[in-house]
Structure 1
Amino acid sequence: MTDLTVKIPAPAWSEAQRLAVLRRFDILDTEPEQAFDDIARMAAQLCQAPVGLITFIDEGRHWFKAVVGLEAGEAVPPFCAQAILQPGLLIVPDARKDPRFAGNPFSRSGPALRFYAGAVIRTDEGLPLGTVCAMDRTARPEGLTPEQAETLAALARAVMNLLRLRRAEQRLALEQDPFAQLADALPQMVWSSRSDGHDEYSNAHWYRFTGASPGSALGRGWIEMIHPDDREEVLARWQHASQTGEPYEATCRLRHHSGEYRWMLARALPARDARGAIERWFGTYTDIHAWKESEALAAESRERYRALLEASAVMLWLATPEGMLTHIEGALDAGGLAETSYRGMDWLDAVHPEDRARVRAAWQWALSSGSAYQNEFRIRLADGEHRWMLANAVAVRNPDGSIREWVGSLADIHDRKQAEEKLRASEERLRLALHAGRMFAWEQDLTTNYVTRSQNTVALLGIGSGTLDEFLERVHPEDRGLRQHFAQQAKAQGSYASEFRYILPSGKVIWLGSRAELASPNRLVGVTFDITERRVAEEEIWRTANHDSLTGLPNRGLFHQRLEQALADAKRQQSRVNLLLIDLDDFKDVNDTLGHDAGDALLKETAARLSAMIRSCDTVARLGGDEFAILVLDPYTLQDAADLAGRLVARLREPFTYKKRVVSSRASIGVAAFPEHHFEPAELMKNADIALYRAKAQGRNRVLTYSPLMRREIEERVALGADLREALARDQMIPFYQPKVSLETGRIVGFEVLARWHHPSKGLLTPAYFGAAFDDADLAPAIRRQLVAKVVGDMREWLDGNLEIGRIAMNLSSADFSQPRLVEEILDVLQGARIPPSRLEVEITETVLLGRSAEGVSTILQQFRDTGVSIALDDFGTGYASLMHLKHFPVDHVKIDRAFIKDLGQNGDDEVIVGAVIGLGRSLGLRVTAEGVESRDQERHLRRLGCEDGQGFLYSVPVPGCGVPPLLLRGL
């Protein structure tokens, strides 16, 4: 068999490209943002998974922008690094079976994340930046549905849109900054720096001239570009300007991208804050290389150059009064314009065909009118490329006013035009982003309260630019006061954000979020966005998290919050709080007999009935399973609450019809109240629960109000449990034996095992002291195991002594029958001692058969009987369904309860009942034993009635194992 391998095609991008684009979005190591958290949460909910993430893959790490469902420090397998290599979604049904992750320790140690579904966050150019993913600690072979996969991919695209929006917001301020726009439009190299000389900005001309990569000039990197011979002088001038605040000016040689140094004129002016301190410097570098080299030229040349410099021209040209070009200066430096190619009117042939007619008409108008000329157009260079140029020209006149010649300049503005086009495209993208994000930008004049809004406001809100009052009139009345103070808060804090409701012209109410920054003392700028869907989702999430999905009632968490608030209010107002805990007595029986859909119907019907019987100020909740709770507030007293509980029990007892079947149930209720029972929520809940427990223990279908005695009994039972655990550890549980005697022969036919606790200080204790332990699911089996081991040891010793012991009867509790290996455990001990199962009898009371696991009890009893173990029904006649139990359970032996034997011979009813039981046993082929025989008169009546066996103090008190042989040897 060949190894399973996964082939991934090589990506069409390089890691360096991907990382560069990722860092341009400036998302790494940023603070959590609600929009990203919401998407991660939606990804988890969409995929029905506990974990949702938004990750970005940096060099050497997976950085989480949003995390839902992971504990701090919990390890995550490197799924996402594989996901970004995929053309589509990456689905990993089980990491332990996937060759890419099977060997990874993260997929096997601790609470391993085994299922993964990730969609790639990808740029328009196809560069993967990270993933939106959902993970589960359980393998999911089915993966995702097509709808889930498509929606997960849509969430990844939504994250990409968020990234673009963040970037657009960051760039918006810079792109709208008039300084930045002007800087890129000027032919000079423009820069700004902090007061200490660290550059903050350089325009595009700087990077084009130096060949440096964008951003490398920031800080003090500009010093390295200056000729080493000029640095000392430049730094001295800079230091002087920084200290005095005087304008900065210096000439120096600056390194060109070709490697040569060119002369530049550096100038800068300081910008001061409100206190007069220098905040930053704004400056330019002007190329004066040609000027420096031509300082020795004639005065006319100097005058021409000075005019050109004043016009900030890159190229200079001269033309005749008729417009024929006669001279071009600096053509080669400006990008390949050849003088011979543009002499005369030939320069018009080089103008782009689309611009030619317009340029010709404007030039002819200037020639005819003598007006100054200015025009922008595209011109073909020597290499065939068309570039945008700015042409300026003025007429030089003779003394008589006639035109002697034209002097003009031609500046390359191609970069500026491209920047303008990019700005227009950026503004369009911003417009589309605002539209897609259902948001609008605005600016508020704090002196007039006039608000200028972006154009899409009309479509979103039904209003355009206008006064603040016009907007406030549409804000929801409950939120208007908050929104009125928005500007004051933003002005006081520098920035502010708020959320509020807004009423559209149609009457529909939506939620808006606003963020504002103080741009100047009297100007606020900000954005407002539609958050209706988010608020609706949050409200739904809150409802889902705080309400029961089946009944719609508040769940345990919300109920505890309301209980805490109600108690806090009651303490402050000296009022009352009543707490009712409700448990359905027969819920499991409905589920087992009619199905879980009927159980769900019962829960919903219960919720409806409880809700209908309380006031609007009260709270009914489903705590889980079949347990409900009601919070009843003032002015209800404790007695009022108990009366209400009684009415609730009666109402819940009424049957209802579900799918043509009658469903009925009963309920038990425990009641506790403040201030009577406690003032802390947890303790009040505990007291109500204690009352509920007692109500169920007393027969169910009733209401009990808490009393301190109940808690003391619970505490005593807990203390008893601790003592019994220590007794078991010290092997202090021992068996005593009481004989069963044949009433016909007087011989011993068996013994019943009775548990005793050999307490080191209290002596020998009977179940009257520790009988509650037999209801404990942990203690009862432990006591039984210790007794069985000792009983079987005694039986082996007696049989080895050739004593006829008959059957030894062991009592089993309800808790014993919850043990899955009960039969195997007892039979293993018997087999280990070589004792036939026929020597053992299992005694159970009717309370065992009345439990919720009656079907399981019947199965276990049949397993005992199949091995030869006899089954005895103890305390027969005290239950309400004894005859039914004889029919449905494998019983061999019935023991008449001592309550019917006590007055035998004196009470005619008891004699009738005992006779009936004996006759019933004989008819069914069952052996009958009378318990509690204490007199010869009772014995005679039993013998006359045909009872086979008797047990009681008449024959012997319970004796330890060492007392059994003497009883057998001497007889009774």
Structure 2
Amino acid sequence: MSGAPSIEHVDRANVDRTLSIERREPRAARYGYAIAIAAVLCALAARAALPPGLPFITFYPAVILTAYFCGLGPALVCTILSGVAVWYAVLPSNLPATGASSAAIALILFGIVVGINLILIERMRRASDANAALAQSTRRLMVELQRETSLRMANEQLAEKTLLLDLALQAADAGTWRYCVRTGRAQLSEQMARHHGFGDQPIEIDVERDWRPRIHPDDAERTLRDLGAAIAGRTKVVTDFRVLLPDGRVRWITGLGQVETDAAGAVTAVVGLSLDITARKEAEAKIAHMACHDPLTGLANRTLFHDRLDAEIARVRRHGATFALFCLDIDRFKAVNDTHGHSVGDALLRIVAARLQAVIRTEDMLARIGGDEFVIIQTQAEQPESASALAERLIGTVEQPIELEGHTLSVSLSVGIALAPADGHDPLSLYNSADRALYRAKAQGRNTFRFAG
């Protein structure tokens, strides 16, 4: 995460702080000589306040305490000052009683005792310093060990998360990519390269020269525009596009990306994932086709027919165009179903649908709206004669014998025709006009057509 200190930096700071504390000298050691002088003055004051006695006893605690807390140097200073103080300030009042030789011997003994104690105290201090150094090394080792342990755990967690991410990418058939804004080049992972037909190895490509030609012409401009908008707005990018593979196949890809910025906030790159959504798009197309087409014949169903009829009526109102609506019904289809079964009846419907489809133009529409009921929208039917000619071709193709499962079947076609806008200004009235014309054709002998009106 941006701005967060790393584990290594935190642990290194802890080590430095610990060693800094350990290197810090005690306050008494830094002011040792001042403390030594103060101790001598305190002992001298105590000697003056106490009854007469051995003068060196008063200064002995001062020397020992100074040695213990401040070290050998201040202790020696304290010893010398104590001897001088005793010799010049204390002994003169006691010399008549003790004699100079006795005082000198006492001073020498005081020095010997103090020296022995100083040596012992110094050795104790050295042992204490050695223990402190050992403790310091131990603490340093523990801190380093803790840091190494933290780093190892972090690396293990990172490796585990990386493995999980790789597994997720493999399971989702996802590739990764990074687009550099400055150079206009993109780094593609192995899977991303495979998605775009660049091979099975990670690759770096130029977006305009290498990537754009692989994108479907209807999608390239929009996809690059989405990428540019994300860079300009510092937002995420989500876009679907088609890739034209070298073998002629078309693959649907969805790209998801997030911008990267530098310390100044400028966008430097876009990183993201690519997912192969071809199967999803094919499933969506199949579902959409099933929703609008007859499963038996593959023709448009009632829903798609009504949408087209509404569109043609709207075109008539806007532009004054004309078209013809045909209602078709297969004569004697029920007899075929009852005699030969529904499987033969279904096969017959498929054959009739194919024959009808072969007769009409590509701009016209054929739909199945019920059992043996079909409708046709004939566009640009300026004259009734064009509708009549189409009706005759439809009847002629259906009345041809049909061979099915060893049977020769003969059916015919009845047709009702309504012209827009003459026979209806809205979808319902126009359809009703064509339907009434169909029933007149069936009532008047079948295998024929009739116009509305």
- Cα deviation 1:499-546 (Å, max 9, x = unaligned): 221123444321111122333342322222211111122222222222
What's 1:103 paired with? none
The answer to whether the Cα contact below 8 Å between 2:395 and 2:414 also exists between their aligned partners in 1 is yes
Closer, same or farther in 2 for the Cα pair 1:418/1:706, shift >3 Å? same
CA distance in structure 2 between the partners assigned to 1:466 and 1:625 by the alignment: 57
3-state DSSP of counterpart to 2:10: coil
The answer to whether the Cα contact below 8 Å between 1:553 and 1:622 also exists between their aligned partners in 2 is yes
Residue 558 of structure 1: how far off its partner (Å): 1.8
What's 2:252 paired with? 511
What's 1:329 paired with? 136
Residue 446 of structure 1: how far off its partner (Å): 2.4
CA distance in structure 2 between the partners assigned to 1:564 and 1:300 by the alignment: 102
What's 1:606 paired with? 352
Closer, same or farther in 2 for the Cα pair 1:696/1:635, shift >3 Å? closer
Residue 615 of structure 1: how far off its partner (Å): 0.7
- Are residue 425 (structure 1) and residue 160 (structure 2) matched? yes
Residue 300 of structure 1: how far off its partner (Å): 8.8
Aligned-partner residue type, residue 241 of structure 2: F
The structure 1 residue matched to 2:283, chosen from 537, 556, 560, is 537
- Are residue 453 (structure 1) and residue 188 (structure 2) matched? yes
Residue 618 of structure 1: how far off its partner (Å): 0.9
The answer to whether the Cα contact below 8 Å between 1:670 and 1:695 also exists between their aligned partners in 2 is yes
Closer, same or farther in 2 for the Cα pair 1:509/1:471, shift >3 Å? same
- Are residue 593 (structure 1) and residue 339 (structure 2) matched? yes
The answer to whether the Cα contact below 8 Å between 2:192 and 2:274 also exists between their aligned partners in 1 is no
Aligned-partner residue type, residue 134 of structure 2: H
The structure 2 residue matched to 1:444, chosen from 131, 155, 179, is 179
The answer to whether the Cα contact below 8 Å between 1:502 and 1:509 also exists between their aligned partners in 2 is yes
Residue 592 of structure 1: how far off its partner (Å): 0.5
The answer to whether the Cα contact below 8 Å between 1:548 and 1:555 also exists between their aligned partners in 2 is yes
Pairwise CA RMSD: 3.4
TM-score (norm 2): 0.66
What's 1:187 paired with? 10
Residue 690 of structure 1: how far off its partner (Å): 2.8
Aligned-partner residue type, residue 195 of structure 2: L
CA distance in structure 1 between the partners assigned to 2:197 and 2:7 by the alignment: 37
Q: Which has the higher strand share?
A: 1
What's 1:551 paired with? 297
TM-score (norm 1): 0.32
The answer to whether the Cα contact below 8 Å between 2:179 and 2:271 also exists between their aligned partners in 1 is yes
Closer, same or farther in 2 for the Cα pair 1:459/1:644, shift >3 Å? closer
What's 2:414 paired with? 668
CA distance in structure 1 between the partners assigned to 2:442 and 2:241 by the alignment: 51
Residue 630 of structure 1: how far off its partner (Å): 0.9
What's 2:206 paired with? 467
The answer to whether the Cα contact below 8 Å between 1:554 and 1:621 also exists between their aligned partners in 2 is yes
CA distance in structure 1 between the partners assigned to 2:28 and 2:407 by the alignment: 116
The aligned runs of 1:276-355 (5 Å cut-off) are 297-298=26-27, 327-329=134-136, 331=138
3-state DSSP of counterpart to 2:255: strand
The answer to whether the Cα contact below 8 Å between 2:245 and 2:251 also exists between their aligned partners in 1 is yes
Residue 453 of structure 1: how far off its partner (Å): 2.8
Q: Which has the higher helix share?
A: 2
3-state DSSP of counterpart to 1:534: helix
Aligned-partner residue type, residue 437 of structure 1: A
CA distance in structure 2 between the partners assigned to 1:690 and 1:496 by the alignment: 56
What's 1:497 paired with? 238
What's 2:224 paired with? 484
Residue 594 of structure 1: how far off its partner (Å): 1.4
Q: Which has the higher contact order (CA 8 A, sep 6+)?
A: 2
- Cα deviation 1:448-480 (Å, max 9, x = unaligned): 322233343334334422221111121123322
Moved segments of 4+, more than 6 Å: 284-296
The answer to whether the Cα contact below 8 Å between 1:187 and 1:413 also exists between their aligned partners in 2 is no
The answer to whether the Cα contact below 8 Å between 2:175 and 2:275 also exists between their aligned partners in 1 is yes
CA distance in structure 2 between the partners assigned to 1:300 and 1:620 by the alignment: 107
- Are residue 682 (structure 1) and residue 439 (structure 2) matched? no
Closer, same or farther in 2 for the Cα pair 1:426/1:678, shift >3 Å? same
Q: Percent sequence identity over matched residues?
A: 33
Residue 332 of structure 1: how far off its partner (Å): 6.8
- Cα deviation 1:729-785 (Å, max 9, x = unaligned): xxxxxxxxxxxxxxxxxxxxxxxxxxxxxxxxxxxxxxxxxxxxxxxxxxxxxxxxx
The answer to whether the Cα contact below 8 Å between 1:546 and 1:554 also exists between their aligned partners in 2 is yes
Residue 289 of structure 1: how far off its partner (Å): 9.7
Aligned-partner residue type, residue 519 of structure 1: E
Residue 178 of structure 1: how far off its partner (Å): 5.3
Looking at CA atoms only, which structure, 1 or 2, has the larger radius of gyration? 2
The structure 1 residue matched to 2:322, chosen from 543, 560, 576, is 576
Aligned-partner residue type, residue 618 of structure 1: D
Aligned-partner residue type, residue 327 of structure 2: L
Closer, same or farther in 2 for the Cα pair 1:330/1:648, shift >3 Å? same
CA distance in structure 2 between the partners assigned to 1:703 and 1:561 by the alignment: 25
Closer, same or farther in 2 for the Cα pair 1:667/1:505, shift >3 Å? closer
- Cα deviation 1:835-883 (Å, max 9, x = unaligned): xxxxxxxxxxxxxxxxxxxxxxxxxxxxxxxxxxxxxxxxxxxxxxxxx
The more displaced of 670-679 and 466-475 is 670-679
CA distance in structure 1 between the partners assigned to 2:8 and 2:439 by the alignment: 84
3-state DSSP of counterpart to 1:187: helix
CA distance in structure 2 between the partners assigned to 1:426 and 1:300 by the alignment: 53
Residue 606 of structure 1: how far off its partner (Å): 1.0
Residue 699 of structure 1: how far off its partner (Å): 4.5
Closer, same or farther in 2 for the Cα pair 1:328/1:564, shift >3 Å? farther
Aligned-partner residue type, residue 696 of structure 1: K
The answer to whether the Cα contact below 8 Å between 1:578 and 1:637 also exists between their aligned partners in 2 is no
The answer to whether the Cα contact below 8 Å between 1:438 and 1:460 also exists between their aligned partners in 2 is no
The answer to whether the Cα contact below 8 Å between 1:621 and 1:628 also exists between their aligned partners in 2 is yes
Aligned-partner residue type, residue 329 of structure 2: D
The answer to whether the Cα contact below 8 Å between 2:416 and 2:449 also exists between their aligned partners in 1 is yes
CA distance in structure 1 between the partners assigned to 2:150 and 2:430 by the alignment: 77
Closer, same or farther in 2 for the Cα pair 1:586/1:185, shift >3 Å? farther
CA distance in structure 2 between the partners assigned to 1:682 and 1:285 by the alignment: 85
CA distance in structure 2 between the partners assigned to 1:544 and 1:449 by the alignment: 43
The aligned runs of 1:738-753 (5 Å cut-off) are none
The aligned runs of 1:52-451 (5 Å cut-off) are 177=1, 179=3, 182-187=5-10, 297-298=26-27, 327-329=134-136, 331=138, 390=144, 411-451=146-186
- Cα deviation 1:475-498 (Å, max 9, x = unaligned): 123322222323223235523322
Residue 577 of structure 1: how far off its partner (Å): 1.9
What's 2:387 paired with? 641
CA distance in structure 1 between the partners assigned to 2:259 and 2:329 by the alignment: 59
Residue 629 of structure 1: how far off its partner (Å): 1.0
CA distance in structure 2 between the partners assigned to 1:689 and 1:581 by the alignment: 6
Aligned-partner residue type, residue 555 of structure 1: N
Closer, same or farther in 2 for the Cα pair 1:286/1:567, shift >3 Å? farther
The answer to whether the Cα contact below 8 Å between 2:11 and 2:147 also exists between their aligned partners in 1 is no
What's 2:311 paired with? 565
The answer to whether the Cα contact below 8 Å between 1:472 and 1:483 also exists between their aligned partners in 2 is no
Aligned-partner residue type, residue 419 of structure 1: A
Task: Give unpaired runs (5+ residues) of structure 2.
Answer: 31-131
The answer to whether the Cα contact below 8 Å between 2:381 and 2:387 also exists between their aligned partners in 1 is no
3-state DSSP of counterpart to 1:580: strand
Closer, same or farther in 2 for the Cα pair 1:600/1:528, shift >3 Å? same
CA distance in structure 2 between the partners assigned to 1:699 and 1:291 by the alignment: 113
Aligned-partner residue type, residue 204 of structure 2: S
Aligned-partner residue type, residue 328 of structure 1: A
CA distance in structure 2 between the partners assigned to 1:635 and 1:327 by the alignment: 106
CA distance in structure 1 between the partners assigned to 2:436 and 2:362 by the alignment: 27
